[in-house]
Every structure is written in structure tokens, then in C-alpha cells.
Amino acid sequence: MTAAGLFDLSGKRALVTGARTGLGQGLALALASAGADIIGLGSQHMPETRRAVEALGRRFEEVVYDLRNPGGIAKMFAGLVEDGAAVDILINNAGQIRRSDFTEFTEEDWDDVLNINLKSAFVLSQAVVRHMLERGIKGRIVNVASLLSFQGGIRVASYTASKHGVAGLTKLMANELAAKGITVNAIAPGYMVTDNTEALRNDPDRYRAIIERIPSGRWGEPSDLDTAVLFFASPASSYVTGQVLAVDGGWLAR
């Protein structure tokens, strides 16, 4: 197989959650550039992602759905495959963060973040895996974890709990599904330029402290995740599963 063929996703259909902006949009474009058609799922319409995917010559389907309501996910997903179309790749990227001191953290902020970051990933993965098993698809599932899958963080109780959960769920799923030809891995981005980190980037002291700790000396961009998602999504990575790969400019090694 040629080097280009290792990452060839021609004929594949990928479902990417949180695809409207930031990391999700970048992951969708990386997969489209390798030949995959994209289903973008988000809480709002995503015309920019559509234009960018279609500019690469790939099909784009949009699903507007609020993942704070995991109860309707199975029905929503059934509608995506009722015409016989397959989903070969799932990217559980959608995520939200709420910041508050631990003693002031609200139950609403706990529930909303856990529902989006963890419960929806579980419910959607369950629906997708059942579909893959029914169709005999050697599927690929890639979850988006975080540095806070390894560390505790500050003032982000529900986010930290959810991302530890994502790492654990990734390993559990990998254990159960490997023999069925479905791999499950996770990418743990470092400090990235996204909407979720805007508050940190606007705080001069926190911004400086973070930059000083990152060996690469910069914040990450969504495109820094391209090779990781293409590796985990590719047909050639069938013997790699249960991994949580940090893409962090060296943060965890510091």
C-alpha cells in the first residue's frame, strides 16, 4: 500500500459531532480531504463547514440536534441510515465547558456538560456500533478527550469529570469491540485555539503561564489534529485500539 493509500477514506461516510466550528470543523475537513463524505452534527446550522467540505468535492449532510437531550439520539441516528446508507466513522467531538469555583458549581452546569461531553457520546456510539455490527462494517470510532482526561484542572468540575469518563469509555469500548473489527481510540488535544478556550486566551496572566509551559511555545490549531484523526480513522490502523493520544505540544511531558 502506498503512503497516500494508508489514509485513503474514499467511499467512507463519517459522522462528526460539533462540526460547526473549531476542532470539529477541522476534523471534518481532514476526513473530507482524505475522501470521506461528511455528516455534520451540531446545535446550529453550519454553512461554513458545508462550503468547505463541498469545496473538497465531498458530500455534506447537516443534522441540527441539541446533544443536551441524549434521549432522542437513537431515533435521530436511525433517520441517517434508514435509506440504506452506512456510517463507517464516528467522531465524538462535541463538547462544552463551564467554569466556576467548585463550591459554587451548579447542578445545571454539571448536568449540561456531562450530557453533551459524555452521555451523548455513549448513546450515539451505542447506536452507531449496533449499526456497524448489523452491516458488518469494520468501523472506526474516535473520541475527543482532553489534557483533563489526565489532569484535574481548576474551576471546571464537570468538564474534568466528563473527559476522564471519555478516556475510560474509549478503553471499555475498545476491549469489547476489537474482536468485531471496530477500533475505538481518542485524541486528547492540548491548549487549542477554539471558542472553549477564548476566556483563557483573553486572560493575559493565564495565557502567558500556559505558553511558558508548552514546550512547542504556541497554542495548537485545529489542523494540528489532522494526522491523528486520519491515522485512527484509516483502514490501515486496524491493530491500534484503546489509545488516548495527546496532541499537546509536549505539555504532558513537561
Helix (H) or strand (E) holding 14: strand 13-17
The CA distance from 39 to 60, in Å, is: 6
Sheet containing 37-42, strands listed edge to edge, beginning at the edge strand earlier in sequence: 60-64, 37-42, 13-17, 89-92, 140-144, 183-189, 244-247
Residue 6 carries which side chain, given as an amino acid letter? Answer: L
Q: Name residue 189's beta-bridge partners.
A: 247
The CA distance from 185 to 141, in Å, is: 6
Residue 127 CB: number of other CB atoms within 10 A? 20
The CA distance from 139 to 12, in Å, is: 10
| Catalytic machinery residues | 159
